[in-house]
């Protein structure tokens, strides 16, 4: 390569860098989320124009893992995010850049959302209920994930030590599914629509549901600390739109009949086409129903539960001792949060 | 005086372009980097959200050592690297020699290696898990696969670089073929093979994190992954520092092996 | 042992290097092969010792090699071809290791070869520590150790500077003075040919043909004497006349033209 070519290459590189850095419009908000049914209120508010009603212009950025969503909000690339609450999230929140301002999905009695599953081999060998967990191996995504936490809480409730099960980090849900199908782990925890499909296909067995054992506040809506202090009005507008959409969602997906069984009426049928535009990979209406979690209609959090989660993670060495939940939960945007710890 | 005598010294134009060794320079470079980093952290220029300070990293390492997990992590990783690297290297040497010596092996091998070498080994992980389970075998296989291809390429190029005149000489003295391989080609290819070892040992370290993604309780790679998932950046950097130390150690050992095996150069 | 080259032709692809060569190497004599560069001298030497398959013709040896000859057809190379990772003694040993010899005989052969070439004090040295002349002495020692029936020397001195060349040539002549040798000596240096050979075969330029075979009648040991100087100079001039024109053409030729 001669010098002239080098100069041309360098100039081409500079031009690319210059073109790649667009200016961000001031009236826009950036919403970061996963393309899961649990992100539904965000999608409904966009589709029904609730953001526009509040004078907001939303832009979605979709991620394939929860961690980048939280990092995106912390770094200021995203204004709002919703994801499950993990040890990693709490450690990041503990550094002061994030504020939880409302609720997302909750594991609520009567609503199938996460299942305990046994591999066929382990099921035949006696892993037919959650009491039989000690001595078994359990596949999860990552250390400190919601799966890890749910397993820990189950151990506490059922009176065995978490150390009695072998936790195997597999990094991704597809890896977990492959491992339980082939019997390389005895068990996994799995979200409902996949769990039911696996069980229905005879690839693995559902042996219980988390909502029957340890209901908890699984997901949250959060924004950056900078937004809370500097753009409070915008955050309030966003919350208003989010709560309207959550109310719609509640009417469609959070319903139980008088026997305690879930029902989906016309309201659900009306919302499902909207959600199908956002949820990926391209779902069927049945999959949306199976994967729909309970989401509080007003964005109210089970606050004490979050304190308990942080305490559990700390006790297991997954969250730094310095992390203080009261510092990263802002209760001022939503009225009527549950179980607010007294000062 | 130059004007008086009409004499001017001929200006010196040589020198430079001859990088030599300065014993203190590596230490000074590390010290400068770490000092600058600590300074940036202490003054708040580098917020802890973005990067932990060296002091915090040292604390995390100390904590890891005190808990006894350090030896577990390092031991688990070293054994995976040792197995994976040895298997990949032995297989690579065998195939590389075959390709260096036999036309058929070379003609068949070069396109196959070219097709398979660039595959990111991490993409094969699900297959490796199906074939080998989630215990040690797929982790060792990941490293072995990563080491195999560069070893093959390094070995057959090294065999190519053995002067043909030496092989002709051996033939002219009627050395049997196995003796030619053992006494002429192997030692003659050794410089190239050792250069490949430097590359493959680094590749083994790079692949450690990928290898320990699945089902690893202990290991530096799994420790780094977990720290990343938990957003414990001090531990993350501590794990990276461990990898660096491991890399420096391996490089030092290889340097010694080179000096010993190639003393004839 | 005698060696007969019968109707040997050789092609490299389309290029004909040798054309219908007939040549005889007589036992106990030294045959020099000279010619301009690119005349195929080295190719012919390779064919004579069984290192190259000729396109046509064949090479036949007559007679039985001496009983102690481990490698009847042995080469000494222009670039020495020493294993750089083996010591002087190790390089000599390489030629012996694959033969069934008891340890004492192997050591004795190595020792004798090193003494003959004046390398005894350098037995443990590595090739990189030696001068060019010493390296070629190792090549000679290695060849001597296997007691060849016919020795093939491929421009053995041309990688050396003039002074070293002179010294080594004297050494070679001294060795051949002591033990009668059959050898083929390829060189482009007419002086060397005149001093070494019993017969000198002159090759023409590409394709290589035998132009003339000239005997050197003066005994090798007397060629340094002043009374033969005029005869040798005349021989030298005669040889130069034979190859001069072609050498000039060869000099002006592009490498791959």
- Beta-carbon separation of C97 and B179 below 8 A: yes
Q: Is C22 helix (H, G, I), strand (E, B) or coil?
A: strand
Q: Is C126 on the interface with B (CB under 8 A)?
A: yes
Among C135, C140, C162, smallest CA distance to C153 is for: C140
Is residue A39 exposed (0-12), middle (13-18) or buried (19+ Cβ within 10 Å)? buried
Whether residue A35 is predicted with pLDDT greater than 50 in this model: the reply is yes
Instruction: Give the tokens for residue B146.
Output: 């990563």
SS3 letters for B109-177? HHHHHHHHCCCCHHHHHHHHHHHHCCCHHHHHHHHHHHHHHHHHHHHHHHHHCCCHHHHHHHHHCCCCH
User: Beta C15-25 vs A105-107: how paired, if at all?
Assistant: unpaired
User: Beta A80-84 vs A28-34: how paired, if at all?
Assistant: parallel
Residues of C whose CB is below 8 A from B169: 75, 77, 81
Q: Which of A143, A167, A185 sits opposite B229 (nearest CB)?
A: A143
- Looking at the complex, report in whole angstroms how far the Cα of residue B136 sits from the nearest Cα belonging to chain C: 40
How many beta-carbon pairs below 8 A join chains B and C?
Answer: 49
pLDDT, position A9: 62
pLDDT tens column, B68-89: 889 999 999 999 999 999 999 9
B45: Cβ–Cβ under 8 A, 6 or more apart, which residues?
Answer: B39
Among B224, B238, B245, smallest CA distance to B53 is for: B238
Mean pLDDT by runs of 10 across the 257 residues of chain C is: 88 85 88 83 90 90 85 92 94 90 90 90 92 91 91 90 88 83 89 89 85 85 82 87 77 63
Q: Which residues of A56-92 are buried (b: 16+ CB within 10 A; e: fewer)?
A: bebeeeebeebbbbbbbbbeeebbbbbbbbbbbbbbb
Whether residue A27 is predicted with pLDDT greater than 70 in this model: the reply is no
Among B125, B131, B230, B224, smallest CA distance to A175 is for: B125
pLDDT, position A152: 96
pLDDT, position C81: 93
Q: Are C36 and C243 in contact (CB under 8 A)?
A: yes
Just give the CATH number of C1-65+182-257: 3.40.50.300
Among B220, B69, B193, smallest CA distance to B139 is for: B220
Q: Which of B129, B225, B231 sits opposite A91 (nearest CB)?
A: B231
Instruction: Give the tokens for residue A60.
Output: 């979605």
Per-residue pLDDT averaged across A145-155, rounded?
95
- Beta-carbon separation of A169 and B126 below 8 A: no
Is residue C220 exposed (0-12), middle (13-18) or buried (19+ Cβ within 10 Å)? middle
Q: What class is the A28-108+217-333 domain?
A: alpha beta
Percent of chain B with pLDDT strictly greater than 70: 98
- Looking at the complex, report in whole angstroms how far the Cα of residue B212 sits from the nearest Cα belonging to chain A: 9
DSSP A302: B
Whether residue B241 is predicted with pLDDT greater than 90 in this model: the reply is yes
- Beta-carbon separation of B49 and A95 below 8 A: yes
Domain contains B17: no
Whether residue A127 is predicted with pLDDT greater than 50 in this model: the reply is yes
Q: Which chain A residue's Cα is nearest to B223? A: A143
Please indicate whether chains C and A are in contact, defined as at least 3 beta carbon pairs under 8 Å: no
Confidence tier at A10 by pLDDT (50, 70, 90): low
CA distance A296 to B73: 43
CA distance C53 to A83: 76
Interface with chain B: mutation pick from C52, C83, C144, highest number of B CBs within 10 Å? C83
Distances in Å between the alpha carbon of A71 and those of A22, A80, A105, B233? 21, 11, 20, 12
- Beta-carbon separation of B215 and A318 below 8 A: no
pLDDT, position A7: 65
Taking the CA atoms of residue A118, residue A122, residue A124 and residue A125 in that order, the dihedral angle to the nearest 10 degrees is -140
Confidence tier at A22 by pLDDT (50, 70, 90): very low
Whether residue A217 is predicted with pLDDT greater than 50 in this model: the reply is yes
pTM: 0.80
User: How is chain A split into domains, by residue range?
Assistant: 28-108+217-333, 114-214
The fold adopted by the segment(s) A114-214 is D-Maltodextrin-Binding Protein; domain 2 (3.40.190)
Report, in this order, helix, strand and coil percent for chain B, each rounded to 5.
75, 0, 25
Instruction: Give the tokens for residue C141.
Output: 């020692």
Q: Which chain B residue's Cα is nearest to C87? A: B264
Q: Which chain B residue's Cα is nearest to C50? A: B172
pLDDT, position C66: 84
Q: Are A30 and A78 in contact (CB under 8 A)?
A: yes
Q: Are A178 and A171 in contact (CB under 8 A)?
A: no
pLDDT tens column, A237-285: 999 999 999 999 999 999 999 888 999 989 999 999 999 999 988 899 9
Per-residue pLDDT averaged across A194-200, rounded?
94
pLDDT, position C254: 65
User: How is chain C split into domains, by residue range?
Assistant: 1-65+182-257, 67-148
- Beta-carbon separation of B166 and C83 below 8 A: yes
pLDDT, position A1: 47
A223: Cβ–Cβ under 8 A, 6 or more apart, which residues?
Answer: A73, A79, A80, A81, A98, A99, A101, A235, A238
CATH superfamily of C67-148: P-loop containing nucleotide triphosphate hydrolases (3.40.50.300)
Per-residue pLDDT averaged across B239-263, rounded?
92
Interface with chain A: mutation pick from B47, B67, B215, highest number of A CBs within 10 Å? B215
Is residue C245 exposed (0-12), middle (13-18) or buried (19+ Cβ within 10 Å)? exposed
Confidence tier at A294 by pLDDT (50, 70, 90): very high
* CATH number of the domain within which B62 lies: 1.10.3720.10
Percent of chain A with pLDDT strictly greater than 70: 92
How many domains is chain B partitioned into structurally?
1
Q: Is B215 on the interface with A (CB under 8 A)?
A: yes
CA distance A223 to A332: 13
pLDDT, position C257: 45
CA distance B130 to B137: 11
pLDDT tens column, B178-221: 999 999 999 999 999 999 999 999 999 999 988 888 888 889 99
Give the residues across from C61 on adjacent strands: C3
Q: Domain limits at B205? A: 53-261
Whether residue A25 is predicted with pLDDT greater than 50 in this model: the reply is no
Domain contains B229: yes
| ipTM score for this prediction | 0.89
Phi-psi region of A336 (alpha: psi -120 to 50; beta: other; left: phi over 0): left
Q: Are C246 and C212 in contact (CB under 8 A)?
A: no
Q: Which of A200-204, B22-26, B63-67, C222-226 has the lowest mean pLDDT?
A: C222-226
CA distance B238 to B241: 5
Decide whether A28-108+217-333 matches A114-214 in CATH topology: yes
pLDDT, position B4: 65
């Amino acid at each position: 390569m001669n010098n002239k070519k080098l100069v041309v290459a360098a100039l081409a590189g500079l031009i690319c860098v210059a073109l790649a850095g667009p200016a961000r419009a001031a009236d826009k908000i950036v919403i970061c989320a996963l393309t899961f049914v649990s992100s539904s209120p965000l999608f409904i508010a966009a589709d029904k124009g609730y953001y526009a009603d509040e004078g907001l212009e939303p832009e979605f950025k979709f991620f394939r893992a929860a961690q980048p969503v939280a990092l995106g909000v912390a770094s200021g690339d995203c204004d709002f995010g919703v994801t499950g609450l993990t040890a990693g999230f709490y450690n990041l929140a503990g550094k002061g850049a994030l504020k939880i301002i409302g609720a997302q999905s909750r594991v609520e009695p009567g609503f199938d959302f996460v299942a305990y599953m046994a591999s066929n081999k382990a099921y035949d060998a006696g892993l037919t209920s959650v009491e039989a967990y000690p001595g078994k191996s359990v596949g999860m995504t990552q250390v400190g994930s919601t799966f890890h936490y749910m397993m820990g809480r189950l151990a506490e409730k059922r009176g065995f030590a978490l150390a009695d099960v072998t936790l195997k980090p597999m990094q991704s849900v597809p890896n977990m599914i492959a491992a339980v199908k082939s019997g390389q782990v005895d068990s996994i925890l799995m979200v409902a629509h996949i769990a039911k499909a696996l069980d229905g296909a005879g690839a693995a067995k559902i042996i219980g549901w988390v909502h029957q054992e340890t209901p908890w506040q699984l997901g949250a809506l959060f924004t950056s600390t900078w937004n809370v202090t500097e753009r409070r009005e915008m955050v309030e507008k966003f919350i208003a739109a989010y709560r309207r959409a959550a109310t719609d969602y509640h009417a469609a997906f959070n319903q139980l009949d008088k026997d305690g069984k879930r029902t989906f009426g016309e309201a659900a049928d009306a919302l499902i086409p909207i959600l199908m535009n956002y949820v990926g990979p391209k779902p069927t209406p049945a999959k949306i129903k199976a994967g729909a979690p309970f989401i509080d209609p007003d964005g109210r959090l089970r606050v004490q539960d979050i304190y308990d989660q942080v305490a559990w993670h700390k006790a297991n060495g997954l969250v730094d001792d310095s992390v203080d939940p009261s510092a990263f939960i802002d209760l001022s945007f939503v009225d009527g949060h549950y179980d607010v710890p007294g000062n | 005086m130059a004007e008086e005598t009409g004499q001017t010294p001929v200006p010196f134009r040589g020198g430079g372009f001859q990088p030599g060794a300065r014993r203190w320079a590596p230490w000074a470079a590390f010290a400068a980097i770490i000092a600058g980093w600590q300074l940036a952290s202490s003054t708040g220029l580098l917020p802890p959200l973005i990067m932990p300070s060296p002091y915090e990293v040292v604390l995390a390492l100390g904590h890891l050592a005190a808990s006894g997990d350090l030896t577990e992590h390092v031991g688990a990783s070293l054994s995976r690297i040792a197995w994976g690297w040895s298997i990949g290297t032995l297989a690579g040497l065998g195939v590389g020699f075959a390709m260096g010596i036999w036309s058929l092996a070379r003609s068949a091998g070069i396109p196959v290696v070219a097709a398979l070498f660039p595959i990111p080994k991490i993409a094969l992980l699900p297959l490796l898990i199906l074939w080998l389970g989630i215990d040690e075998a797929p982790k060792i296989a990941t490293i072995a696969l990563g080491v195999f291809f560069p070893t093959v390429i390094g070995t057959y190029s090294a065999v190519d670089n053995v002067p043909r005149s030496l092989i002709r000489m051996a033939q002219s003295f009627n050395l049997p073929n196995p003796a030619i391989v053992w006494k002429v080609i192997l030692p003659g290819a050794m410089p190239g093979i050792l250069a490949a070892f430097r590359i493959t040992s680094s590749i083994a370290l790079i692949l450690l994190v990928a290898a320990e993604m699945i089902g690893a309780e202990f290991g530096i790679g799994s420790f780094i992954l977990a720290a990343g998932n938990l957003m414990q950046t001090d531990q993350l950097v501590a794990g990276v520092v461990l990898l660096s130390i491991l890399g420096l150690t391996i490089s030092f050992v290889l340097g010694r092996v080179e000096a010993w095996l190639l003393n004839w150069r | 042992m005698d060696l007969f080259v019968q109707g040997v032709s050789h092609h490299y692809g389309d290029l004909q290097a040798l054309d219908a060569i007939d040549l005889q190497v007589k036992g106990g004599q030294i045959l020099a092969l000279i010619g301009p560069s690119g005349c195929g001298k080295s190719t012919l030497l390779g064919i004579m010792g069984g290192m190259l398959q000729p396109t046509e013709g064949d090479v036949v040896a007559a007679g039985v090699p001496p009983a102690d000859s481990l490698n009847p057809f042995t080469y000494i190379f222009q670039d020495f071809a020493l294993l750089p990772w083996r010591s002087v003694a190790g390089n000599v040993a390489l030629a012996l290791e694959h033969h069934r010899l008891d340890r004492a005989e192997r050591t004795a052969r190595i020792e004798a070869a090193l003494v003959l070439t004046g390398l005894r004090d350098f037995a443990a040295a590595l090739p990189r520590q030696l001068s060019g002349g010493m390296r070629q002495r190792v090549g000679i020692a290695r060849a001597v150790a296997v007691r060849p029936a016919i020795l093939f020397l491929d421009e053995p001195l041309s990688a050396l500077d003039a002074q070293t060349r002179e010294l080594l040539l004297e050494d070679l002549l001294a060795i051949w003075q002591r033990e009668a040798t059959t050898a083929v000596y390829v060189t482009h240096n007419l002086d060397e040919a005149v001093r070494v050979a019993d017969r000198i075969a002159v090759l023409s330029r590409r394709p290589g043909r035998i132009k003339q075979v000239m005997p050197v009648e003066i005994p090798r040991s007397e060629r340094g004497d002043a009374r033969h100087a005029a005869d040798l100079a005349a021989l030298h001039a005669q040889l130069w006349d034979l190859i001069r024109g072609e050498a000039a053409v060869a000099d002006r030729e592009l490498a791959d033209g």
